[in-house]
Amino acid sequence: MIPFYIETYGCQMNVSDSEVVASLLAGSGYVPCSRWEEARILLINTCSIRENAEKRVMNRLDHFARLKKKNPQLRVGVLGCMATRLKEQLLEHPAVDWVVGPDSYRHLPAMMGSPASAPLQTQLSLTETYADITPYRGREQTVTSFVTIMRGCDNLCAYCIVPYVRGRERSRDPQSIQAEVEALQKDGFKEVTLLGQNVNSYRWKAGEETVSFAGLLERIALAVPNLRIRFTTSHPKDMQDDVLHVMANHHNICKQIHLPVQSGSNAVLAKMNRKYTRETYLDRIRSIRTILPGCGISTDLIAGFCAETEEDHRLTLELMKEVRFDQAFMFQYSQRPNTLAARHYPDDVPEEEKTRRLSEIIALQNRLSLESNRADVGKTMEVLVEGTSKRSEEDLFGRTDTGKVCVFPKGTNRVGDLVHVRITSCTAATLKGDIV
Ligand code: 5AD
Ligand code: SF4
């Protein structure tokens, strides 16, 4: 049995894909190990979303090349989005033996087993969903889990490389999704996050019947009453009230929505090809607040997209204040090769200007997150215990229904318990409290 180790970069979708790869290999004579030092095969699952993400992976490959000099038996494979984007170029790197894109993982065991097989497989597929593969979940992961419900993306946001590296959008059949979450519940898991680049366009046709995302969500909520359910990512142009009503009707669906806005300016949103306006975004927020009072709302923001003016930037800050996001992931625009923006618009906001705008966005969001957390002080919230706090062995951490991280003294509780915590204090990033 040959030991392998997978290092994962990028989004939750990659975490989920690495589990599919581990499962494919574990069924073919390879054995997963939890430390890379013990592995004969190193696989690196990569992300192309921003230039920085790619740089980190290239540095890691340089490190692997040095390891290979000391240990010539070592083999290295590059998986994920960079595999599709860079193809042969990656094979030229001294560390790299195999390059395998997100839709080609079924080829991996054969490639690894035979020196005669081609070392590069990056064809994208219109149909691959790995629906029949039960992901391998390591022993460290026993409470929360991801389940991929669809792959690829058809939206063509101007800045985004995802449609080019992960291919066309396709949904996974609801039966196999349900079977997978039922198995998770049986194995003692307590929470599942359903994953897709744009979950609201989930669609499965079975004869006369079409299953929408709202339909799938309801079906899953009923099938696994003992699992908490989250999902990501929602797209503002497609998120309708039907999903919100399903969330309101099922206590096991967490009251948290990730709704990336990217910008508060209509001119920038149009250029980004997001297909909604500031006004329609705010309308979606109003629906969430009306149908799901107290729902956690998070977002993604990009600073310094092509031709973004100071006024556009100000509109983003204004929108943030109006919505009062609980959390946000904030980025500086990074031009990606071959995207609509790279082909049509100059990357013309100077680097220091992008950095300044991003730091203003981050400073404002820190204030909003702190205010949102302060509003929770005094409340008692349901928290799923996920592990021991990084700061102290005496404390546990978990997440509230609304998606906030919460830290509290251990007492007699264990990982996987659902506890009630009275919030006593907070920072911008964390709630602190005591179990009641
Ligand atoms: N530059 C900066 N941020 C980007 N994102 C996607 N593409 C880019 C890019 N080229 C951000 C968006 C998206 C999140 C996953 O990453 O905010 O929602
Ligand atoms: Fe990129 Fe848009 Fe797809 Fe999100 S929905 S991955 S931003 S193309």
CA-to-CA distance for 358 and 371, rounded, in angstroms? 20
What integer pLDDT is reported at residue 319 of this predicted model? 98
d(CA 263, CA 283): 15
* Ligand 2 centroid – CA 381 distance (Å): 33
Q: How far is the CA of 161 from the centre of ligand 1 (A)?
A: 9
Alpha-helical regions (H) of 187-252: 213-223, 241-249
pLDDT at 138: 82
Whether 139 is covered by a domain: the verdict is: no
For ligand 2, whether the C-beta of 373 sits within 6 Å is no
Query: Which of 121, 155, 180 finishes a domain?
Result: 121
CATH code for the domain in which residue 36 is found = 3.40.50.12160
Query: Which ligand has its closest atom nearest to the C-alpha of 10?
Result: 1
In a domain, 262, yes or no: yes
Residue 80 in any domain: the answer is yes
Judgement on whether residues 22 and 169 belong to the same structural domain of the protein: no
Peptide bond preceding 233 in cis form (omega within 30 of 0)? yes
Residue 179, in any domain of the structure? yes
Residues 101 and 236 in one domain: no
**How many Å apart are CA 6 and CA 32, to the nearest integer?**
8
Tell me which of 65, 90, 121 is where a domain ends. Answer: 121
384 with 347, same domain: the answer is no
What pLDDT score does 329 carry?
Answer: 98
Looking at the fold, whether 49 and 72 belong to one and the same domain comes out as yes
Q: What is the DSSP string of 404-424?
A: -EEEEE-TT--TT-EEEEEEE
**pLDDT for the residue 206:** 84
Number of domains the chain contains: 3
Q: Is 420 inside a domain boundary?
A: yes
Predicted confidence at residue 59, as pLDDT, reads: 97
Instruction: Say how many Å lie between the CA of residue 62 and the centre of ligand 2.
Output: 30
Contact 90, 76 (CB under 8 A): no
Asked whether residue 292 falls in the same domain as residue 198, the answer is yes
Q: 362 and 235 in one domain? A: yes
pLDDT for 185 equals: 96
CB half-sphere exposure, 340, CA atoms < 13 A: 14
User: Could you please report the per-residue DSSP string of 358-389?
Assistant: HHHHHHHHHHHHHHHHHTTTT-EEEEEEEEE-
| Residues 170 and 290 placed together within one structural domain of the fold | yes
Report residues of the chain scoring pLDDT below 50: none
- Measured from the alpha carbon of residue 162, the closest ligand is 2
Distance 211 CA to ligand 2 centre (A): 22
| CATH code of the domain in which 334 resides | 3.80.30.20
- Per the listing, tokens 């909003």 go with 368
314 and 423 fall within a common domain:
no
Amino acid at 367: R
430 and 307 part of one domain? no
> Is 330 among the domain residues?
yes
Q: Which of 88, 121, 154 lies at the terminal end of a domain, its last residue?
A: 121
Residue 231 pairs in a beta bridge with 194
Place of tokens 């625009």: 333
Residue 138 lies in a domain: no
Of 48, 34, 156, 27, nearest to 101 by C-alpha is 48
**207 in any annotated domain:** yes
Q: Is the CB of residue 76 less than 8 Å from the CB of residue 68?
A: yes
Q: How far apart are CA 320 and CA 223, in angstroms?
A: 37
| Domain containing residue 389 | 380-435
For a ligand 2 pocket test, name from 165, 235, 305 the mutation site with the most ligand atoms within 8 angstroms of its C-beta: 235
Q: Is the CB of 365 under 6 A from ligand 2?
A: no
Pocket of ligand 1 (CB under 6 A): 49-50, 159-160, 260, 262, 300, 302, 331, 333-334, 336
Q: Based on the domain organization, do 89 and 209 belong to the same domain?
A: no
Q: Are residues 360 and 384 in the same domain?
A: no
Question: Which residue owns the Cα nearest ligand 1 atom 12?
Answer: 300
Ligand 1 midpoint to CA 90 (Å): 23
Q: Which ligand is nearest to the CA of 153?
A: 2
Residue nearest to atom 1 of ligand 2 (CA): 160
Q: 235 alpha carbon to ligand 2 midpoint, in Å? A: 8
Closest ligand (CA of 338): 1
Cβ–ligand 2 contact at 148 (below 6 Å): no
Q: Looking at the structure, do residues 87 and 28 belong to the same domain, yes or no?
A: yes
CATH code for the domain of 401: 2.40.50.140
